[in-house]
Homo-oligomer: A and B are copies of this chain.
């Protein structure tokens, strides 16, 4: 049996001693205030045993990580119809580029880039009675934790400064791939991204993707086919323009957010969440990437 606690401890010590942590995301003013020295890690194995190191109980903004959860919810609501409005191909472009979207007539490359997640948000706004509350309840239930919440300050901050998302949403609207008002969809989207979790909550939430669709409470949220497909999407598209690098160096499906969180998983084995707010130049947590690289090389575990 693998001694995860010992492995996490070693990783925490070696990775955490890194002094160059790059800088915190600046383009969302509220996120720019975070202490760059935070670093936490939490792993839950498929026997539901938990292992932690560092600041694993401190909440942070999960940001783009939420896109996997909105995708999960939307598949339950509309199923394969989703794929008429968004593709499943890697984008080969940084996370905020509009060029491809324009060239491809408003069909986003995949649901894990901003434009694709905005289309997913649009469908949720159409499908749900109380989109924000219903989505929050969905996540709380998966995580089995009613304490999870939006950070309304962060949502407001993005609303005031997220001009590139407004550009993307308007471009989608001009192409006929956004049904609701831009402001309504983005209000939902900014709230979705503002959800706060700590590493422990994040690992518990994504546990279902390593557990054949069953959440921590053993309730089934996805059939195995959809689990596999979402894992495939995370692997090919989960890290902006660094997805290939992550697959190549780490070899696990995962998703990062500009808040500095990363979650990754090995099917039928474990789910792990890291948090360190300093981002590399491609927008992924520098220490988180390093920690996960060490995890798969130390354990010899990966999907490949």
Contact = CB atoms under 8 A, between A and B. Distances in A.
Interface of A: 87-93, 97-100, 102-103, 109-110, 163-164, 166-168, 170-171, 173-174, 182, 224-225, 227-229, 231-233, 235-237, 241-245, 247-249, 251, 253, 267, 297, 300, 302-304
B232 A88 contact: no
B244 A237 contact: yes
A171 B164 contact: yes
**Most chain B CB within a 10 A radius of its CB, from A110, A171, A245:** A171
A98 B253 contact: no
Given A89-B242, A92-B92, A231-B251, 4 more contacts: A164-B170, A166-B170, A233-B248, A235-B304
A238 B232 CA distance: 14
A244 B88 contact: yes
8 A-B pairs with the lowest CB-CB distances in the bound complex, closest first: A92-B92, A90-B90, A163-B174, A89-B244, A167-B170, A231-B304, A166-B170, A228-B304
Contacts of A249: 229
Contacts of A173: 163, 166
Nearest to A225: B297
A167 B163 contact: no
A170 B229 CA distance: 34
